[in-house]
Structure 1
Amino acid sequence: MTVTVPPAGSPTALREARVPEGGMYEGPRTLRRLPEGWQEQPYRHVELVPQGCTIGAEVRGIDLSRPLGPALREELNRALLEWKVLFFRAQHLTSAQQRDFARNWGELETNPLLARGAGEDVVRFDKGGDATPTFENVWHADVTFRERPALGAVLQLREVPPSGGDTMWADMAAAYDNLPRDVKDRIDGATAVHDFIPGFARFYGPEKLAPFQDAFPPVEHPVVRTHPETGRRLLFVNTSFTTRITGMQREESDSVLRFLFQQAHVPEYQVRFRWQPGDVAFWDNRATQHYAVNDYGSHHRVAERVAVVGDRPY
């Protein structure tokens, strides 16, 4: 789907395409789900039910506890590239089955900074009640402080609060597409520093973080990365881990990053998922950011996540 934008410089464009202070757009946006030249094909092994305009689809007619054949794996990968986050209802996977499903996309990642579930490559999020509070309710992409940030992640909700606890995802291809030309000119070809400390300092004190500084030194990634499978250009900075744009004065870097961070907040780029126990989400971490809504108070929300090692962004 494409929303037509008036010609640049026309009175309509000046009126409708204004970007107020703070970076939130007014007026029509380009909402393009597929890369240019992408040949859309029917799905033969599963049914897809779109949940958003450019991002998010529920996949029906599949049991993730069973091994994937080559044709089914290829179709799911195409669905992931086209929709960026996939939802599977009522799967109720064991941790081993969740890992087996994720391994169809590559080597699994471990994260020593987060609590483990059943196995070193399973992260467990036990929130609410007497659990230690954490702060995933910020727009972010996972582990961009690594040289090879995660390709994607498979998250399953094991315990769901009676209300609240949704997760939201934002399409960072749409975010890039709609940047003003002058902003694109400033950031195309630029790199930014990503550091684990700002994101995890919200959880832990300096004594907890110090042992990991040698393992996770700051890294640089492109501000705009190219998706390795679709060729799509993607905005690749996030509030949790991106600290500055290389080569810019601090004041200018902070100003540009504030504007770029704000793009994930645009509702037209988002999809929101209401969980039920046993539901699974699989998202492309290269192309999205996500936000865990913390609105369930003292009720428990228990999730387990498995992540797949990614490539070096370019």
Structure 2
Amino acid sequence: MTALPTSTAAPHDAPNPPGPLREARVPADGMYEGRRTLRRLPDGWTERPYEHLDVVPRGRVIGAEIRGADLTRPLDPAVRAELHRALLEWKVLFFRGAHLTSDQQRAFARCWGELETNPLLARGAAEDVVRFEKGGTAAPTFENVWHADVTFRERPALGAVLQLREVPPVGGDTMWADMAAAYDNLPDGIKARIDGARAVHDFIPGFARFYGPEQLVPYQDEFPPVTHPVVRTHPETGRRTLFVNTSFTTHIVGMDRAESDRLLGHLTRQAHVPEYQVRWQWQPGDIAFWDNRATQHYAVDDYAPHRRVAERVAIAGDRPY
């Protein structure tokens, strides 16, 4: 067998290194690709089974459907305790086809505290029931914006219990966003700027889109502007949550208008991230119960000319810190 000749040729030269990459400017304060931190439970909490309820997750960090709880009857203390733990762990709870009367809905909400009234919204069957009747000939109001409820109060609502009385054939979903996850994923530089900062909240921006001065002026003394922390500490879980929203937060204290607007724009856009969200497709009689201290929500206005009728009961909260 003839041996193969040994090559004496010089190895091929290595390819020339690439030239410098051209500069590509990206807008400041953007939200970009990459893995996000998705932490559902507070630090130090251990996952435990539920003994009296079936808890069916509907989102990665937020939202669970509750099965096995009869909301038409007074809650057994053990069931109430598990519902409360589920609320803290999942931030919004869903109950299919509960079909509660207004009195039953109010009784359920009252298990979590005193009920709140809101003279700025249409009243339902009682003073502490708000009725949202949309579609058909009704004016489109208070939808398609991310917000937390009544942050213009010194003590914004702890939470709310919403029931859909009438559902359009298509559309009319509601979405919730976990504002603890939103805070977790902020860059360290942004966190440093907002930790300890305070922002002003006012009812007028959220309502002036739909109401004239003659309707709003009478409530100016009842609801003066208030300040809250930009980053709120949840009083029960200890989680840090973003507590600014498009509807009611007007500016950050101590910043000039341009700087405040730019920073608030970045912070409020965090609710738009799908990884922090859950979306619920309503059926008649469904109930949603959410923690207003930890979430924002968005009513999707995509069902005109059909009707959508909902009733909400809110639970009075405490002063944010």
TM norm. shorter chain > 0.5: yes
Indicate whether 1:113 and 2:87 are aligned.
no
Residue number in structure 2 paired with 1:73: 80
Amino acid at match of 1:113: L
Post-superposition offset of 1:97: 0.1
Q: Establish whether residue 156 from structure 1 lines up as the match of residue 163 from structure 2.
A: yes
The amino acid across from 1:181 in the alignment is D
Moved more, 67-76 or 99-108: 67-76
Out of 104, 108, 114, the residue aligned to residue 101 of structure 1 is: 108
Assess if the C-alpha contact under 8 Å between 1:56 and 1:85 holds in 2. yes
Equivalent position to 1:280, from 274, 287, 294: 287
The 1:45/1:160 distance shift into structure 2, 3 A limit, reads same
* Secondary structure in 1 matching 2:269: helix
Please list every run of 5 or more consecutive structure 2 residues that lacks an aligned counterpart in the other structure. 1-24
State the SS of the aligned residue for 1:81: helix
Q: Is the 8 A contact 1:47 1:61 kept in 2?
A: yes
Q: Report the counterpart of residue 215 of structure 2 in structure 1.
A: 208
Aligned residues: 297
Post-superposition CA distance 1:253-279 (Å, at most 9, x none): 111000001000000000000000000
1:226 aligns with 2:225: no
> Could you say what the CA RMSD is over the residues aligned between the two structures, in angstroms?
1.1
Matches within 5 A, 1:1-314: 21=28, 23-314=30-321
Contact kept? 2:109, 2:160, Cα under 8 Å: yes
Please report the TM-score for the alignment, with normalisation by the length of structure 2: 0.91
Write the letter of the residue equivalent to 1:204.
Y
Deviation at 1:136, TM superposition (A): 1.6
How far apart are residue 23 of structure 1 and its match?
A: 3.0
Deviations 1:148-174 (A, max 9, x none): 000000000000000000000000000
Structure having the higher Rg: 2
* Distance in 2 (alpha carbons) for counterparts of 1:229 and 1:304: 27
Q: Secondary structure at the match of 2:177?
A: strand
- Deviation, structure 1 residue 41: 1.3
Partner Cα distance (2:87, 2:218) in 1: 36
* Distance (Å, rounded) in 2 between the aligned partners of 1:82 and 1:226: 15
Query: TM-score, normalised to structure 1's length?
Result: 0.93
Consecutive unaligned residues of structure 1, counting only runs of 5 or more, are: 1-17
Report how far residue 19 of structure 1 moved.
8.4
TM superposition shift of 1:21: 4.4
Distance in 2 (CA, whole Å) between partners of 1:25 and 1:54 is: 20
Residue in 2 aligned with 1:9? none
Shift of the alpha carbon at 1:22?
5.7
Shift of 1:25: 2.8
Q: Structure 2 CA distance, aligned partners of 1:40 and 1:89? A: 24
